[in-house]
Amino acid sequence: MVTVTSGMLVVFALVVVTMALFVTEAAPPDVTAIGVIVALVVLEPWTRVDLQTGLSGFSSAATITVLSMYALSEGVRQTGAIRVLGDAVASFTNGSESRLLAAVVGLTGPIAGVVNNTPVVAVFVPMVSDLADQANVSPSKLLIPLSYASMLGGTLTLVGTATNLVASEAYAEATGLPPFSMFTFTPLGAVVFVVGAGYLLTVAPRLLPERIEPGNRTGNYGVEPFLARVLVPARSPLVGSPAGEVSDDTYRDLNVDILDVLRGGEHFIAADSDREVTARDILTVRGDPATIRRFCDLADLRFLPHASVTDAELDRPERVALVELVVPRESGLVGETIGGARLRERYDATVLAVRRRGGDLIREHFRDVDLQVGDSLLLQTTDETARYLRDSGDFVVTSEVADELIEDDGGLSPTALRAFAVVAAVIGLAALGVVPIAIAALGGVAAMVSLGCLSASDAYDAVSWNVIFLLAGVIPLGRALQLTGGAELISEFVGVAATHLPVIAVIAAFYLLTGLLANVITPVASVVLLLPVAIDTAFGLGADPFGFALAVTFGGSTAFMTPIGYQTNLMVYGPGGYRFTDYLRVGAPLQLLLTVVTTAGIVLIWGV
């Protein structure tokens, strides 16, 4: 029997504190992970984690591979190939909701198997939202399936998710056996994807609500009552003032914004222009209805009660774009106010509304609103600025923005073909065992930059550094569980509890436990913590640890029940107008279904 030591208790305490911080988000997950490294090394007499072990997460092959895959995915994204794909999908679906759903699921999964699924969803969200508008289908019917399909596709190959790479390295370290190869679990991944796709195409549409109306962004954000048209008479004090500065000067305290100026049939966006207001101009104004009336009185403007403002008025590709954004976890603007972010000054963008996680809408007094992870913002800006916002890394743009690297005939550019060739070479070299996956991926990044598919600065910017620091922090925590005997102690208790259970039931329990844990903390953290325990349990039961490792690996990819467990779920939360319960309604049955399918697949395919 394993003896409980003070070192075990210290590590268990660190695990509990870490999980509490992950769940409550009292600190960003990457900051928590950095704190874990510090605590492990400072408490070395108990944790047995020295400086080299504490920093081993930064040099981990999994961390290096994940870092490289972000850059490779960005190289593919910048080619504009997704826009070509979107045109093909639009032609195939021809306005059919069922065909559109099938195309989304059928394309997202396989692509996410070879390109990291987070950037795949980032580039598919605007395409799917645009196609939904064209087909008059609510985006709510498509975006959760998009996220789930990318998660299912991530199980097809080793590089599909960061979770797979971390599990591979942890398995090799705990057993002394070779890590997983590129296609080790592809047979099971294919089964899981087919079953999951069938669920998304048949059951999920009946469970998903229509939270968002197609093609009506101003209506979905409840903005229309906060928009108005006003006429500028010759006597107005606004005449002669720069249109973009009106709301920043005398009338700043009113919290109104001039969005658009109509002059003689010509429109121009106020925030992007230094042109002065002239008599007979018609201004589009954003603000509280009562405040707009007061603005009209103070500035001697004539309110136009019958001049409604619609999407068509605010979203004209030749001059202005109505853009939806999501604030991702890695955004440098999280915690900053909209006023402090200076979106209007820096990006010539005017905020029209903010949708919070949970569905709350904010449509006024934006300057003091703190930006939070998962917030959706509706902006009016130019198409050029929308592309800059998309590339900045501070936002995920969820409405279509024109790409520039498309051939005039609609085909793929030479740049796109080179990028795909690089990714194919990376996968091929790793699959054949010519070089380790980490080296192949690093070489792929170098090739992307050398061939002009990606600039060096874009490669650095593409990396989600919060994910890298998260990996670097939780990997040594898992190592501490092993070094102190904590993993062995837990496995002993599990083994006692599982004495009268068949091995298949224990495998299913580890799959389900990992999936449930991944829903409240990150999938990577759940795999790092549970995989050593699963392997020790397998040894204690005299079973093959490979099957147990697969159960934990696949369980980490099934965080279907909450929007916070997996990054892709959070990315579609705002654009789909979802509520927390929508994920539970659709994800819980899928998670239970895959518990049975994955467990049975492990036993049938590998005879565990």
Q: What is the dihedral of CA 487, 489, 494, 498, to 10 degrees?
A: 120
Confidence of residue 404 (pLDDT cuts 50, 70, 90): very low
Q: Does the pLDDT at position 406 exceed 50? A: no
Which of 49-58, 140-149, 425-434 is the least confident region? 425-434
Whole-number pLDDT of residue 215: 65
Q: What is the mean pLDDT of residues 424-436?
A: 86
Choose the most confident range, by mean pLDDT, from 387-391, 477-481, 544-548, 556-560.
Answer: 544-548
Task: Please check the confidence at residue 385 and state whether its pLDDT lies above 80.
Answer: no
SS3 of residue 70 by DSSP? helix
Residue among 431, 372, 403, 525 nearest 30 (CA): 525
- Phi/psi for 351 (5° steps) reads -75, 130
Neighbour-count burial of 178, counting CB atoms closer than 10 A to its CB (0-12 exposed, 13-18 middle, 19+ buried): exposed
Report residue 80's pLDDT band, with 50, 70 and 90 as the boundaries: low
Q: What is the pLDDT of residues 185-206, one digit of tens each?
A: 899 999 999 999 999 999 999 9
Angstrom distance (rounded) from CA 229 to CA 291: 13
The string of pLDDT tens digits covering residues 197-239 is 999 999 999 999 888 877 666 777 778 888 888 888 989 888 8
Report the share of the chain in percent with pLDDT over 90.
Answer: 22
Bigger pLDDT: 38 vs 331: 38
**Mean pLDDT score across all residues of the chain:** 83
Mean of pLDDT values over 573-579: 83
* pLDDT at res. 587: 94
**pLDDT the model gives residue 194:** 96
pLDDT of the residue at 341: 83
Q: Tell me the two tokens of residue 449.
A: 């930059």
Note the pLDDT of residue 475: 86
Check residues 307 and 488 and name the one with the higher pLDDT.
488
Neighbours of 184 (CB within 10 A): 19
Q: Which structure tokens are listed for 58?
A: 């930064």
Residue 314: the pLDDT is 60
Residue 401: per-residue pLDDT: 53
Averaged pLDDT for residues 441-450:
92
Residue type present at position 574: G
pLDDT at 465 over 50: yes
The whole-number pLDDT of residue 405 equals 43
> Alpha-carbon distance 351 to 539, whole Å?
57
Contact predicate 65/159, CB 8 Å: yes
Highest mean pLDDT among 110-114, 126-130, 495-499: 110-114
Strands (E), 232-316: 257-263, 266-269, 282-286, 302-304
Ramachandran class of 392: left when φ > 0, alpha when ψ lies in -120 to 50, beta otherwise: alpha
Looking at residue 588, its pLDDT comes to 93
Q: Is the pLDDT of residue 64 over 80?
A: yes
**Distance, CA of 113 to CA of 101 (rounded, Å):** 19
User: Which has the minimum average pLDDT: 350-364, 414-428, 436-450, 512-526?
Assistant: 350-364
CA pair distance 76, 82, nearest whole angstrom:
9
Say how far apart CA 475 and CA 462 lie, in whole Å. Answer: 22
Please count the residues of the chain.
608
Indicate whether 400 pLDDT > 60.
no
Q: Report how many helices (DSSP H) and strands (DSSP E) the chain contains, helices first.
A: 29, 10
Which DSSP state fits 384?
H
Output the CA torsion 447→453→456→458 (10° steps): -140
pLDDT of 237 reads 87
pLDDT tens digit string along 467-520? Answer: 788 888 888 988 888 888 887 888 778 777 777 788 899 999 999 999 988 887
pLDDT at position 495, please? 73
Burial string for 427-439 (b: 16+ CB within 10 Å, else e) reads bebbbeeeeebbb
What is the model's pLDDT at position 73?
80
Name which of 130-144, 299-313, 441-455 the model is least confident about. 299-313
| Token representation of residue 585 | 């309604």
- Higher pLDDT pick, 15 / 253: 15
Cβ contacts of 26 within 8 Å, gap of 6 or more: 20
Compute the CA torsion angle 303, 269, 276, 353 (nearest 10 deg): 50
Would you say the pTM of this structure is higher than 0.75? yes
Q: Does position 57 have pLDDT exceeding 80, yes or no?
A: yes
CA distance 591 to 511: 10
pLDDT at 570: 81
Taking residues 376-386, report their average pLDDT: 79
CA–CA–CA angle 457, 440, 168 (5° rounding)? 110
Q: Note the pLDDT of residue 84.
A: 66
Residue from 257, 325, 252, 244 nearest 287 by CA: 257
pLDDT-above-70 percentage for the chain: 90
Say what the pLDDT of residue 136 is: 85
Say what the pLDDT of residue 368 is: 83
Highest mean pLDDT, choosing among 134-143, 413-422, 590-599: 590-599
The pair of three-digit structure tokens given for residue 392, joined into one six-digit string? 């900045």
